[in-house]
Chains A and B, each alone.
Chain A
């Protein structure tokens, strides 16, 4: 039996969840502020995931860089691989919020999408 304290990261309240685990299975979750806390605890114990945000250079755009994110969260242990996949990538303008920049990053099944609008540069 193991007791673990987790800080829920779903919202800025950051409830301090108290999770009891037995043989890898969750026995109880306490101190959650809402349903999302329960979901988070389950996920964090079984398969922790994170949303990754970064930026990529833009070619021919009004701005030099475009901010991007993983559309949904990806396994925590894939973050490093995700960043390596983005290395040396450049994006052509124009870009709209939501445009898919990379499909299925690092085989996570999750796309990298743009989070900023960048228009084409006027000559």
Chain B
């Protein structure tokens, strides 16, 4: 069976590309090495939709950032994904630091970012009373926003799936070679034939590219660690608070998340191991120390969890978007680090367009935009809650007490297209287990529900990956 396109990687980039490609009459397959969408870099990032003053003028990062920022709001409306245009502030703490703000302002203008302004101390504190009082000036970018990266990825993947895109999980690409007019993609689960390939493999995109192209790329994984705080202090700041960028990146930020938590991070550290997403004592300490330079009254007892992700930093520090010179039909979306999430809608349109042109594909007449709305029970009024219950009594059973997630929502997350197969999959789709007790109360219940729905024994239920079991046996099995 010959595919028109194989997309390698179901992170935010791959999922969005698949969604855009689905607007054409094409036979598309997405291969993802993990068991769910959004398991790589897309899982562990800040969810910031950048304004674009930070990117180098003339770079692809700048180009796709600014377009993506504009597209994001409407895309999120279409996909029913929470998005908030909460604005950003870049803080300067002295006159010399404020010179950098001017540089960013100029850069922003060159990149066509709208409505940038320099704010004085009084205006900053009036806007954000919890910012440190020794702030001098700030660059205000009203077009900055926040989005939930998982929901964006999942929603895009779902819409792609609804439009007949195939997804195969647990499938790792090991070789690519040409055979006649097609590519043969060799994986741990078999070989797939396709006329074109889109490489959206995140931190592993260089490995994938280098399997077939002689123009070699090198991705240097760059780790960033974060701390997440209880929703009780989610409004400590309302805008996303940046510090001055250094050569290492945008610096540690303090931001509300689209779900209402407070997030601080990331730091920046190059690592050797592409699978190393561990947090470290020094890393977390650094994140806290630097975040406090912006907002010193961050209440540490409200920490819920810490996590880390790897940025796919290409050696030349810009996006690589487009067809490989020496391999017609092989398209890269490579080196997609920050502002990758913001750029995703724009990159997706561009790549889809390139591929469609190459294949002379027709636009599809029956593209389905709308996916089944996910219910967020906790945010509904009493009346709305009761109405839902009357339709489905599983809305009466609350499984996750901290986030008020019902059995109906959990069952839906398992049964819907690209449904959850793991506890983390349920968590990301419903927020069950992501609250202040971190699943202490509800995870046994979710394990039971998954076992029942998937027809498995409790011992087979996984946290996220193949070896991540919860229970290893029955009592007395080892006696």
Contacts and interface: CB of A to CB of B under 8 A. Distances in A.
A touching B, CB within 8 angstroms:
yes
Interface of A: 54-55, 57, 83-84, 86-88
A37 B413 CA distance: 58
10 contacts: A54-B475, A55-B475, A57-B474, A83-B476, A83-B479, A84-B479, A86-B476, A87-B476, A87-B479, A88-B476
Contacts of A87: 476, 479
Interface residues of B, number: 4
A116 to B, nearest CB: 15
A88 B475 CA distance: 10
A84 B474 CA distance: 14
Contacts of B476: 83, 86-88
Given A83-B476, A86-B476, 8 more contacts: A54-B475, A55-B475, A57-B474, A83-B479, A84-B479, A87-B476, A87-B479, A88-B476
Interface in B92-151: none
A54 B474 CA distance: 13
Main secondary structure of the interface of B (DSSP, over half): loop
Interface of B: 474-476, 479
B32 to A, nearest CB: 36
A84 B479 CA distance: 7
B447 to A, nearest CB: 14
A55 B475 CA distance: 8
Contacts, number: 10
A57 B477 CA distance: 12
A87 B474 CA distance: 11
A74 B476 CA distance: 20
- Top 9 closest A-B pairs, CB basis? A87-B476, A87-B479, A84-B479, A83-B479, A55-B475, A86-B476, A83-B476, A88-B476, A54-B475
B131 to A, nearest CB: 50
B449 to A, nearest CB: 16
Nearest to A55: B475
Contacts of B475: 54-55
A83 B479 CA distance: 8
A48 B62 CA distance: 76
B473 to A, nearest CB: 12
Nearest to A65: B475
A114 B476 CA distance: 18
A88 B476 CA distance: 8
Nearest to B474: A57
Nearest to A83: B479
Nearest to B477: A87
Contacts of A88: 476
Nearest to A80: B479
Contacts of A83: 476, 479
Contacts of A55: 475
Contacts of A86: 476
A87 B476 CA distance: 6
Contacts of B474: 57
Contacts of A57: 474
Contacts of A54: 475
A116 B474 CA distance: 20
B72 to A, nearest CB: 48
Contacts of B479: 83-84, 87
A88 B479 CA distance: 10
B235 to A, nearest CB: 44
A71 B474 CA distance: 25
Contacts of A84: 479
A90 to B, nearest CB: 11
A31 B1 CA distance: 84
Nearest to A89: B476
A92 B136 CA distance: 75
B475 to A, nearest CB: 7
Nearest to B475: A55
A84 B476 CA distance: 8
A86 B476 CA distance: 8
A44 B475 CA distance: 29
B457 to A, nearest CB: 13
Nearest to A84: B479
A9 B479 CA distance: 27
A83 B474 CA distance: 14
A28 to B, nearest CB: 41
B479 to A, nearest CB: 5
A55 B474 CA distance: 11
B445 to A, nearest CB: 14
A85 to B, nearest CB: 10
A82 to B, nearest CB: 11
A20 B382 CA distance: 69
A39 to B, nearest CB: 32
B185 to A, nearest CB: 46
Nearest to A85: B479
A68 B476 CA distance: 14
A88 B474 CA distance: 10
A67 to B, nearest CB: 12
A86 B474 CA distance: 13
A11 B476 CA distance: 29
Nearest to B478: A87
A83 B475 CA distance: 11
A54 B479 CA distance: 13
B477 to A, nearest CB: 9
B222 to A, nearest CB: 48
B140 to A, nearest CB: 59
A100 to B, nearest CB: 20
A84 B477 CA distance: 10
A21 B479 CA distance: 36
